[in-house]
């Protein structure tokens, strides 16, 4: 069994390491950096938004708010363009908390669907990679992020793409809306 949070804290708080970020081409920041002090564990985890389906904004959202929907899944996008060419979020129609909570039929569907959405985003052009991510520490309603990064910009590779998204200036809105529309059309086909 992994160590308890208290054991982790006791072992790690005075032993934090600074990784060689200056050697990482994809690291978005420069200058002198140091790790933040590690804070002690909390009594319990903070409740997530919409926990247990109570006041869940994703459950309450009408289909009109979404880019594409079917019987079991809905795909939405952020309100405004961000630094990466396209970010969409695929979520279950019903309220589930964790991937492992899905019944097998839905688990099989989401596998096929994530691959399909990834393929269609890549087909938009000038996309180097589509990162398919599931974190789930903010809102509880089960959702996957699909983050498209531009092609041929080596600094934007890998997991820091999620940070670069806040650093790069937003994509022109007209272009962004056109790509969303193309994606929706492809998924309806």
- Interface with Zn ion (CB under 5 A): 50, 56, 58-59, 95, 141
When the beta carbons of 9 and 76 are compared against Zn ion, the nearer one is 76
CA atoms of 86 and 116, how far apart (whole Å): 15
When the beta carbons of 77 and 95 are compared against Zn ion, the nearer one is 95
* In the complex, minimum distance from the CB of residue 50 to Zn ion, in angstroms, rounded to a whole number: 5
CA atoms of 111 and 2, how far apart (whole Å): 29
* In the complex, minimum distance from the CB of residue 53 to Zn ion, in angstroms, rounded to a whole number: 5
* In the complex, minimum distance from the CB of residue 91 to Zn ion, in angstroms, rounded to a whole number: 8
* In the complex, minimum distance from the CB of residue 103 to Zn ion, in angstroms, rounded to a whole number: 16
Q: Which residue of the chain is nearest Zn ion when measured via CB?
A: 56
Beta bridge partners of 92: 73
Q: In the sheet where 68-69 sits, what is the strand order?
A: 68-69, 73-77, 86-92, 143-150, 127-133
When the beta carbons of 54 and 123 are compared against Zn ion, the nearer one is 54
When the beta carbons of 50 and 83 are compared against Zn ion, the nearer one is 50
CA atoms of 172 and 148, how far apart (whole Å): 15
Cβ distance 50 to 58 under 8 Å?
yes
């Amino acid at each position: 069994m992994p160590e308890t949070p208290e054991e982790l804290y006791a072992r790690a708080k005075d032993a934090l390491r600074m990784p060689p970020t200056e050697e990482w081409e994809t690291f978005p920041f420069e200058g002198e950096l140091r790790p933040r002090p590690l804070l002690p564990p909390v009594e319990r985890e903070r409740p997530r938004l919409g926990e247990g389906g109570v006041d869940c904004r994703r459950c309450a959202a009408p289909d009109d708010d979404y880019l594409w929907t079917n019987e079991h899944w809905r795909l939405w996008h952020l309100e405004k363009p961000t630094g990466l060419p396209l970010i969409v979020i695929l979520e279950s129609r019903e309220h589930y908390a964790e991937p492992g909570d899905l019944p097998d039929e839905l688990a099989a569907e989401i596998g096929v669907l994530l691959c399909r959405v990834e393929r269609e985003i890549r087909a938009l052009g000038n996309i180097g990679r589509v990162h398919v991510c599931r974190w789930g520490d903010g809102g509880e309603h089960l959702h996957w992020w699909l983050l498209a990064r531009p092609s041929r910009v080596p600094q934007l590779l890998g997991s820091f793409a999620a940070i670069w998204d806040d650093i790069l200036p937003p994509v022109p809105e007209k272009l962004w809306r056109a790509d969303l529309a193309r994606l929706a059309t492809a998924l309806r086909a």
